[in-house]
């Protein structure tokens, strides 16, 4: 097998050779140097010449960020290895598709993860924080088709650029563990997994109707075709095609996926619900209805208790009996016409809930097994062949769809369930089906049973008579993994005329994706046209054979990449079980909600397979899941030129091209098509990574949508400048604090007050990060501490006089500054490192332990107690903490304003909440 580097070179040589026109799509210019440059300089504009000379420059984020990124890289600051002595923490963000450049969604996602990783390192955890590339996929082929760039070249160029962007954001990844799915050292293990699944009957080939997206020129899994549209091109409806394809048997794990899913306490409720809905378990029975002409018709129902109310039956138009039953009857022509019409109707249109019920009588009758009455068999649009048996018993009194159908075609409605506490429900005047539970009526020997007991009793009877049995149905289907695409993992299977389907032997892995290929975006799998790839020898008989030319769904890659990160350079097997054992499960997974049923369901399935293969002990990959909100911005639209970029609109809100006023649209997810995007590169040049990070954390809690605001970014930048000045403006104070000791007595109020602010901030920030990820309020607490520091400095004598003052002042100041800088570090790591160094520290701030709040120092001494009269605030008392209740009552009743409010009234009651408030209940 070629090595990683070897293959890369090979691809690049190939692409240079084959390049037409542009050499590369990614002649991306270096980030523009903003003319405004390091804005922090302005802070010094009016300072004295003396200061300008002796002080360092202002907050020069470009220099600082480059400096610390280089230091982290040189020191391999974020490289980790297993260490049983320390608690581990695996922090993972969903890896990106290398589409070209990172977007603000990535910035937000990865900033959240980075704060978690950096914070937990400072709390003493051994933190695994890796990053990689979801590098196979359709857009690379699109680029190849449109621009003549080889998918490998395009992908690897994009990765190189995006990696540089992630580094410039200061994210603390262990890059030694980087995985790139499109390289054989990764995808060979996809093939290895496929072979293991094949051995266990969990991979199989089947002919069936499948989803086809014309723009992808490929089939899709059900999950990727949700709602009848392609997940990548939501404007493209998927078509149905009858094809022979490879499937993974996710349904073999469905009960486990369901049961374990309910136990995922660290997942958002809505994701669990979406997965539960997707799996769509329903419990009921399969029942054979005898046909009057002989034979039987099997149906699935979740309501065996309503069996006596079945007054007709309905077949899906594709049901094999539909045409057959009508043959020879007067309905034959009508049924044939109806079935033909349904075949032509677009499937998503036909299955739209809003579509009217439509059907036709087959001319045949079945026998209700309980009532033994003949009932007519119909064919209708609303019954789906893919679900259950493709046929239903219709109980119009207790199923709304059946009810509507019965009313439209004048079919009988027979009430067999009375709602609890009522016996008045009557079929004739019903306007809607009663779908709830109740008591069985008109059901012969079952009369009087409650629905639940009735279901059991009917099932027992059916099983005794051998005309039915209990059954469970699921909405979820097996995972279709074949793709008619080039840029994916070749499916390691060979077709031999003599031996049939033959798996590629493990020793022949990887089946390498051949570099020489023509991407035409039509006419099936590109690999099918690469003869050197297709033609091979059968591993079993040695005779001429053909390779499978489809590749795997790229969701296979992402189904186990989190396992690979634990042992990314393992060459003998997909992962090292010992390393997986140390790191798994992922403690915190962070990504977008759009993968609620796609990636997150597949990954859970794959993890269970890996467990059964002995590669991991865990059955669930992600203990905690955070689904971050979208990054939004208002869009602008020019009546002449359509959507406009922010830069194409001037300050007065006019289009820079034509001068017409633009229409400001609503705030919505940033997207290229709406042009309401901001470019991370421009922000990096203008404000630096720390400001971007700080703003995207401060503007909204992580799980909510974030509205991008240029003014808000300014605010974050101002805050960092403020802290910079705070530390940098009075170095003599910090120097003077060194070696000093706290004096013995009670310090002055200014010192107590600053220490109180410091320890309150430590408590608040720590709680906000521990309990839930309340980054926005944690940053607010840092801003408050900065405010307290400014107020403290204002009270000090100017110049060097302060340095000669009492040591407590200097110590309190140093304590506050150090706490502020340390707590700032996870959010704005570069500036924190730089300030930490300027405080005289030689070691990285990330080797610093997180500060501990001293509760006794944080405690407020004087309290303001609110005095209410009948629930309204009428006065305030300043009292020392712990003032006895009796004294509080007396003070409250004596308060000037309170006296006015209770004068002439009787005080009925006094509610005292210690150290909080007093409410005086007074009558008139």
Structure tokens given for 344: 């032509």
Number of residues that bind RNA (CB under 7 A): 92
Q: For RNA, which is the closer residue by CB, 196 or 756?
A: 756
Binders of RNA among residues 328 to 357 (CB under 7 A) are: 350-357
Binding mask 662-701 for RNA (x = CB under 7 A): ------------------------------------xxxx
Q: Does 866 bind RNA (CB under 7 A)?
A: yes
Based on CB atoms, which residue is closest to RNA, 389 or 549? 389
If residue 760 lies in a helix (H) or strand (E), which one and from where to where?
helix 749-771
Rule CB under 7 A: which of 399-428 touch RNA? 399, 401
| Interface positions, 474-513, toward RNA (CB under 7 A) | 475
* Binding map of RNA across residues 375-404, x = CB under 7 A, - = no contact: ------xxxxx-xx-x-xx-----x-x---
| Structure tokens, 801 | 């006089």
Which residue number, 741 or 909, has a Cβ lying nearer to RNA?
Answer: 909
Site for RNA in 762-821 (CB under 7 A): 774, 776-777, 779-780, 783-784, 787, 790-791, 794
Q: Could you give the C-alpha distances from 204 to 503, 507, 550, in angstroms and in order?
A: 12, 22, 14
The reply on whether position 597 binds RNA by CB under 7 A is: yes
Stretch that binds RNA, among 245-253, 361-369, 610-618, 707-715 (CB under 7 A): 707-715
709 binding RNA? (CB under 7 A):
yes
Burial string for 66-99 (b: 16+ CB within 10 Å, else e) reads eebbeebeeeeebebebeeeeebbbbbbbbbbbb
Residues 89-108 within binding reach of RNA (CB under 7 A): none
Distance set, CA 339 to CA 387, 393, 656, 732 (Å): 18, 19, 58, 90
Q: Could you say whether residue 879 binds RNA (CB under 7 A)?
A: no
Compare residues 239 and 783 and give the one whose CB is closer to RNA. 783
State which residue, 140 or 781, has the beta carbon closest to RNA.
781
With CA atoms as reference, report the closest residue to 809 among 755, 858, 852: 755
Using the rule CB under 7 A, which residue among 31, 105, 261, 284 binds RNA?
284
CB of 907 to RNA, least distance (A): 11
Q: Which stretch binds RNA (CB under 7 A): 275-283, 406-414, 613-621, 833-841?
A: 275-283
Report yes or no: 634 and 708 within 8 Å, Cβ to Cβ.
no
Residue 849: name the closest of 869, 874, 819 by CA.
819
Q: Which stretch binds RNA (CB under 7 A): 295-303, 367-375, 482-490, 822-830?
A: 295-303
Contact between 610 and 560 (Cβ < 8 Å) = yes
In the bound state with RNA, the residue whose beta carbon lies nearer, of 384 and 453, is 384
Question: Nearer Cβ to RNA, position 592 or 807?
Answer: 592
Residue 19 interacts with RNA (CB under 7 A): yes or no: no
User: What minimum distance in Å lies between the beta carbon of 519 and RNA?
Assistant: 31
Residue 194 or residue 773: which is nearer to RNA going by CB? Answer: 773
Cα dihedral 123, 125, 126, 131 sign: negative
Please report, in angstroms and rounded to a whole number, the separation of the first and last CA atoms in the chain. Answer: 93
CA–CA separation, 784 and 792 (whole Å):
12
The position carrying tokens 């209940």 is 921
Q: Which of residues 712-731 bind RNA (CB under 7 A)?
A: 712, 714-716, 718-719, 721-722
**Who's near 5: CB < 8 A, 6+ residues apart?**
none
**Smaller CB separation from RNA, 84 or 871:** 871
CA distance 819 to 722: 16
Q: Please list every residue from 192 through 251 that binds RNA, using CB under 7 A.
A: 226-227
Which one among 256, 447, 508, 705 touches RNA, defined by CB under 7 A?
705
Between 425 and 593, CB nearer to RNA: 593
Rounded CA gap, 322 and 350, in Å?
17
Confirm or reject binding of residue 862 to RNA (CB under 7 A).
Answer: no
- The pair of structure tokens assigned to 415 is 């009430």
> Where are the extended beta strands (E) located within 402-453?
417-419, 438-440
Query: What phi and psi, each to the nearest 5 degrees, are found at residue 863?
Result: -115, 150
Q: How far is the CB of 880 from RNA (least distance, A)?
A: 14
Contacts of RNA in 605-634 (CB under 7 A)? none
From CA 18, how far away is CA 330, in angstroms rounded? 66
Q: Is 907 in the site for RNA (CB under 7 A)?
A: no
Residues in region 40-79 near RNA by CB under 7 A: 42-43, 45-46
> Rounded to the nearest whole angstrom, what is the least distance from the CB of residue 404 to RNA in the complex?
7
* Residue 295 CA, distance from chain mean position: 51
The full length of the chain comes to 924
Strand 391-394 to strand 468-473: parallel, antiparallel, or no bridges (unpaired)? unpaired
């Amino acid at each position: 097998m070629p090595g990683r580097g070897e293959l890369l070179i090979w691809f690049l040589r190939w692409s240079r050779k084959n390049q037409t026109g542009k050499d590369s799509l990614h002649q991306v210019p270096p980030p523009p140097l903003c003319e405004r440059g390091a804005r922090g300089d302005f802070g010094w504009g009016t300072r004295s010449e003396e200061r300008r000379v002796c002080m360092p420059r202002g907050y020069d984020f470009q220099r600082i960020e480059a400096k610390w990124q280089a230091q982290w890289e040189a020191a391999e600051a974020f490289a980790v290895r297993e260490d049983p002595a320390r608690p581990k923490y695996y922090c993972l963000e969903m890896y990106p598709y290398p589409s070209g450049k990172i977007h603000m969604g990535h910035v937000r996602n990865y900033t959240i993860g980075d704060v978690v990783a950096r914070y937990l390192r400072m709390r003493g955890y051994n933190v695994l924080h890796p990053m990689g590339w979801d590098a196979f996929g359709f857009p690379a082929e699109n680029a190849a088709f449109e621009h003549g760039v080889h998918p490998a070249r395009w992908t690897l160029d994009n990765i190189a650029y995006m990696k540089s962007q992630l580094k410039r954001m200061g994210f603390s990844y262990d890059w030694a563990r980087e995985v790139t799915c499109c390289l054989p050292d990764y995808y060979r293990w996809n093939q290895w997994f496929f072979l293991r699944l094949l051995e266990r009957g969990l991979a199989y080939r089947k002919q069936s109707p499948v989803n086809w997206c014309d723009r992808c020129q490929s089939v899709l899994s059900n999950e990727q075709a949700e709602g009848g549209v392609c997940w990548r091109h939501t404007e493209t409806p998927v078509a149905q095609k009858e094809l022979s394809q490879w499937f993974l048997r996710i349904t073999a794990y469905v009960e486990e996926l369901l049961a374990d899913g309910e136990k995922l306490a660290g997942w958002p409720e809505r994701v669990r619900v979406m997965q539960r809905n997707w799996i769509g378990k329903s419990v009921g029975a399969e029942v054979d209805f005898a046909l009057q002409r002989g034979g039987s018709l099997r149906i699935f129902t979740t309501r065996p208790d309503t069996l006596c109310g079945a007054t007709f039956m309905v077949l899906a138009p594709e049901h094999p009996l539909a045409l057959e039953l009508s043959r020879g009857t007067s309905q034959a022509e009508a049924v044939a016409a109806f079935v033909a019409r349904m075949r032509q109707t677009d499937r998503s249109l036909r299955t739209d809930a809003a579509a009217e019920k439509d059907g036709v009588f087959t001319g045949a009758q079945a026998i209700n097994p309980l009532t033994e009455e003949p009932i007519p068999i119909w064919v209708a649009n609303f019954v789906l062949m893919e679900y259950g048996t493709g046929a239903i018993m219709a109980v119009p009194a207790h199923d709304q769809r059946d009810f509507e159908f019965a009313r439209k075609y004048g079919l009988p409605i027979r009430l067999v369930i009375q709602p609890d506490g009522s016996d008045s429900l009557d079929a004739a005047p019903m306007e809607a089906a009663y779908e709830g539970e109740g008591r069985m009526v008109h059901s012969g020997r079952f009369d009087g049973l409650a629905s639940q007991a009735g279901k059991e009793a009917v099932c027992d009877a059916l099983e005794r008579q051998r005309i039915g049995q209990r059954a469970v149905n699921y909405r979820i289907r097996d995972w279709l993994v074949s793709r008619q695409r080039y840029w994916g993992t070749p499916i390691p299977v060979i077709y031999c005329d003599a031996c049939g389907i033959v798996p590629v032997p493990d020793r022949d892995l990887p089946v390498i994706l051949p570099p020489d290929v023509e991407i035409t975006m039509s006419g099936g799998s590109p690999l099918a046209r690469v003869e050197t790839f297709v033609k091979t020898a059968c591993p079993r008989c040695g005779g001429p054979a053909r390779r499978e030319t489809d590749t795997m769904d790229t969701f296979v890659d992402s189904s186990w990449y989190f396992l690979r990160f634990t042992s990314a350079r393992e060459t003998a097997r997909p992962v090292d079980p010992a390393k997986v054992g140390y790191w798994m499960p992922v403690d915190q997974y962070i990504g977008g909600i759009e993968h609620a049923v796609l990636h997150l369901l597949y990954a859970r399935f794959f993890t269970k397979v890996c467990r059964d293969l002995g590669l991991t002990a865990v059955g669930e990959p992600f203990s905690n899941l955070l689904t971050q909100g979208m990054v939004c911005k208002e869009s602008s639209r020019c009546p002449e030129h359509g959507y406009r970029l922010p830069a194409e609109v001037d300050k007065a809100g006019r289009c820079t091209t034509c001068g017409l006023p633009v229409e400001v649209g609503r705030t919505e997810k940033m997207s290229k098509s709406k042009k309401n995007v901001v470019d991370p590169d421009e922000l990096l040049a203008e404000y630096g990574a720390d400001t971007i990070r700080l703003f995207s954390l401060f503007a909204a809690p992580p799980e909510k949508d974030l509205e991008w605001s240029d003014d808000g970014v300014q605010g974050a930048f101002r805050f960092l400048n403020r802290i910079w000045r705070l530390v940098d403006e009075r170095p003599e104070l910090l120097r003077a604090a060194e070696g000093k000791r706290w004096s013995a007595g009670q310090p002055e109020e200014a010192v107590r007050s600053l220490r109180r602010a410091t320890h309150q901030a430590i408590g608040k920030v720590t709680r906000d990060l521990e309990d839930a990820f309340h980054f926005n309020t944690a940053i607010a607490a840092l801003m408050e501490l900065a405010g307290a520091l400014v107020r403290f400095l204002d009270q000090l004598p100017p110049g060097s006089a302060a340095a000669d003052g009492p040591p407590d002042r200097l110590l309190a100041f140093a304590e506050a500054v150090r706490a502020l800088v340390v707590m700032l570090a996870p959010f704005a790591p570069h500036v924190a490192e730089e300030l930490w160094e300027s405080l005289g520290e030689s070691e990285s701030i990330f080797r610093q332990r997180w500060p501990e709040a001293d509760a006794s120092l944080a405690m407020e001494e004087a309290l303001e107690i609110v005095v209410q009269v009948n629930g309204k605030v009428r006065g305030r008392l300043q009292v020392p903490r712990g003032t006895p209740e009796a004294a509080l009552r007396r003070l409250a009743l004596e308060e000037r304003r309170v006296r006015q409010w209770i004068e002439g009234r009787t005080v009925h009651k006094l509610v005292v909440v210690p150290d909080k408030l007093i409410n005086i209940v007074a009558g008139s």
